[in-house]
Amino acid sequence: MALILGLESSCDETAAAVVTSDRQVLAHCLATQDAHHRPFGGVVPEIAARAHVEVMTPLVEQALAEAGVALSDVDAIAATAGPGLIGGVMVGLVTGKALAHAVGRPLIAVNHLEGHALSPRLANPDLHFPYLLLLVSGGHCQLLLVEGVGRYRRLATTIDDAAGEAFDKTAKLLGLGFPGGPAVEQAAKAGDPRAVPLPRPLLGTKEPHFSFAGLKSAVLRARDAQIHRAEDIAASFQQAVVDCLIDRTQRAIDVADGATALVVAGGVAANQTIRAALEGLAQKNGMPFFAPPLWLCTDNAAMIGWAGAERFAAGLTDPLDVVARPRWPLDPDAEKARGAGVKA
């Protein structure tokens, strides 16, 4: 059994975890930055980086203490090396390098997206490769065929904004507070999802990809019309996102030969309406469905530790001069999507 120390600092969550190769999370310590960023209505990269510096070392000490192990007991140290806000990514990766060097243990530079992609296997030992993954977060919205550790085939991506970004911007436009995703979900519970006519970009098209920029603009116009309740706009927006996700995922199911299950991961996967819709889609197609527990959907170090455990078992470690990467696609050979830019 391997013991992995995982570190996460790619956005506005600082976390450290101790995870075993047989799926035990011995400790998971996390510090949020919501109070730091709430006055600005979004994450400020410079503030995030400074906050990571302040709490990363104490979190590592706390995680080791809660797990009842010493740093010298771990077999490897896994740290997020990208993609993400580069200042924050560097804090976690440099910390991981220093710890690995100090105790002579291997460093595993983990792709944050791979952490999300493999996290369902931490919670479900019966989930086997290959599986179809909807990775939906603040920075990414992709459909991937997860064929194995380090083996990902991208079937679709967003050509503009991610679904999570659209949730955050909608919350800001409607004055619902920060963080935006949970705020929109809560407001939507008191709204009518059919009250506001909003577009469903790319719905029903042959193109496999997502698009949410136009939906954000439509929310702005609906707000400025001053004829709709904020709750109705939130509910209608959420339903439009659900419709787009279901339509695009069905298209991916049709071409994902051999997929053993439909899986959702990433921060937006914590949305209960989206989870329920995807579960219904899986049942319709006769596929098992799995979504990680809510705490494992949002950014955390347990998923980084688990991705490190999977990579460690496969003999995949990294030199101490590995660089932090603000952009790091899981499938670098995927055909470039129109308008998607380098993060696709």
pLDDT digits (tens, 9 = 90+) for 82-109: 999 999 999 999 999 999 999 999 999 9
pLDDT at 338: 81
> b/e map of 108-117 (b: 16 or more CB within 10 Å)?
bbbbbbbbbb
182, burial (CB in 10 Å: exposed 0-12, middle 13-18, buried 19+): middle
Q: DSSP of 72-123, one letter per residue?
A: GG-SEEEEEEESS-HHHHHHHHHHHHHHHHHHT--EEEEEHHHHHHHHHHHH
The closest of 123, 118, 47 to 85, measured between CA atoms, is 47
Rounded alpha-carbon distances, angstroms, from residue 61 to 57, 172, 255, 315: 6, 36, 46, 27
Token readout for 58 is: 């104490």
State which fold the 3-117+296-313 domain adopts: Nucleotidyltransferase; domain 5 (3.30.420)
- Alpha carbon dihedral 122, 125, 129, 133, in 10-degree steps, equals -50
Distance, CA of 240 to CA of 193 (rounded, Å)? 8
Three-state secondary structure call for residue 226: coil
The closest of 57, 69, 56 to 24, measured between CA atoms, is 69
Distance, CA of 199 to CA of 244 (rounded, Å)? 10
The predicted-structure confidence for 251-278, as pLDDT tens digits, reads as follows 999 999 999 999 999 999 999 999 999 9
284 contact partners, CB below 8 Å, separation of at least 6: none
Can you give the residue ranges of every domain in the chain? 3-117+296-313, 129-291
DSSP designation for 157: -
pLDDT at 340: 65
Residue pair 47/36 in contact (Cβ under 8 Å)? The answer is: yes
Token readout for 274 is: 């989206």
Topology match between the domains 3-117+296-313 and 129-291:
yes
Distance, CA of 206 to CA of 209 (rounded, Å)? 9
Mean pLDDT by 10 residues, the chain (344 residues): 98 97 98 91 91 97 98 98 97 98 98 97 97 95 98 97 96 94 97 98 96 97 98 98 98 96 96 98 98 95 98 98 96 86 56
pLDDT at 229: 98
3-state helix vs strand vs coil in the chain, percent to 5: 45, 20, 35
- CATH homologous superfamily of 129-291 equals ATPase, nucleotide binding domain (3.30.420.40)
Distance, CA of 335 to CA of 344 (rounded, Å)? 9
Distance, CA of 82 to CA of 112 (rounded, Å)? 6
